[in-house]
Structure 1
């Protein structure tokens, strides 16, 4: 007999337990998105599913050796990514082997974004400040990852500057840059970014239609 789907309350208790374990923050993020009903557009889900088809869940459970990446030649994508994480004391979110495969596949596009978010920072040339994070937010909304992307983008343009009134110009600039980069690039979420870590960062950015400096 098929296993019974856990109740919403049981999954909420599971989420609380996962959030208490730093090593399973990626699991918690995926489950939280699922509980909140976050859904990416069908086209986005299909492209991510196609990318992951041959590797099952491997591209959703990235296992990257950051110590090795930091020994990569300067100028490579992997070195820039590892240095970015180290400089900002970031431990990239990963999905553990203990996380349910069916739930993971159901939320594959969201899981992949959770794992790749810090690579987006490197490729889009932005830091972890509020303006930098809003550059990425504008990028993913312009690429229409989510069903309500257009409405959320309009809300971001209106509410973003209110988050940091003293950074009004910087926020608007980053939102504009994020949208512009999104129009140039392919669907970044469905690109095999982890396969290009040994490549020159500028070459990867060029390949994706992203200028090395913005």
Structure 2
């Protein structure tokens, strides 16, 4: 694998400046992230699609709307949206998977009902791996199944419950990575979930801090 050190340096600078969208894209470009042809085909609707996400604006949407719920999730967890600088447009187009996975990660938390604990992250990872987004996610899930309960024993029960639930949801849901979710902000969250087959709520087990 040929590493592009210029992009790697730029990614480091983007991370230090807090521009996580640019960081995700530059890191993917530096390491040459790959995606299987089937997934690449399903991502065609979002090639070149990365509208800026304005949390302040979304916070003013009706309570219970998809956008409002997303803004609440982001603000409550002190998270920033993955926005992309205009000068990285060409790199973004050539790294659609990396960009879309980064952008939709927090969107998936909202849609799937998983919190941001390690157990919640396992639930999102299990969903993404089951929908066959990339082989690296499957490898990551296998490693997490082994090491997560050891590193976070207080969350072990929630980890395995969320893992199963993430896989169950993935099997029932439509392929989500290629959806233009930003066009659904004003709709009720319950309606959006129903449209994409996400009608089963994950078991909300409280993870005990280690």
Q: Which residue of 2 aligns with 1:64?
A: 53
Q: 1:135 aligns with which of 123, 127, 149?
A: 123
Cα separation, 2, equivalents of 1:173 and 1:48: 29
Cα separation, 1, equivalents of 2:32 and 2:147: 23
Task: Report the Cα offset of residue 149 of structure 1.
Answer: 4.5
Task: Report the Cα offset of residue 157 of structure 1.
Answer: 2.5
Task: Report the Cα offset of residue 11 of structure 1.
Answer: 2.4
Cα separation, 1, equivalents of 2:136 and 2:55: 35
- Deviations 1:94-143 (CA, angstroms, capped at 9, x unpaired): 111121x3321111121011112111110000111100111101111111
In 2 relative to 1, CA 132–209 (structure 1 residues): closer, same or farther, beyond 3 Å? Answer: same
Could you tell me which runs of 5 or more consecutive residues in structure 1 were left unpaired when the two chains were aligned. 1-6
Contact 1:121–1:127 (CA<8 Å) still a contact in 2? Answer: yes
Cα separation, 1, equivalents of 2:108 and 2:174: 13
Contact 1:72–1:79 (CA<8 Å) still a contact in 2? Answer: yes
Could you tell me which runs of 5 or more consecutive residues in structure 2 were left unpaired when the two chains were aligned. 203-210
Cα separation, 2, equivalents of 1:121 and 1:112: 14
Cα separation, 1, equivalents of 2:102 and 2:72: 19
Q: Which residue of 2 aligns with 1:33?
A: 28
* TM-score, structure 2 normalization: 0.87
Q: Which residue of 2 aligns with 1:98?
A: 87
In 2 relative to 1, CA 152–66 (structure 1 residues): closer, same or farther, beyond 3 Å? Answer: closer
Cα separation, 1, equivalents of 2:177 and 2:13: 28
Cα separation, 1, equivalents of 2:198 and 2:35: 23
RMSD: 1.8
Cα separation, 2, equivalents of 1:46 and 1:154: 26
Q: Which residue of 2 aligns with 1:208?
A: 196
Q: Which residue of 2 aligns with 1:87?
A: 76
Q: Which residue of 2 aligns with 1:11?
A: 7
Task: Report the Cα offset of residue 38 of structure 1.
Answer: 2.6
In 2 relative to 1, CA 8–192 (structure 1 residues): closer, same or farther, beyond 3 Å? Answer: closer
Cα separation, 1, equivalents of 2:139 and 2:13: 33
Q: Which residue of 2 aligns with 1:192?
A: 180
Q: Which residue of 2 aligns with 1:46?
A: 41
> Match of 2:87, SS?
coil
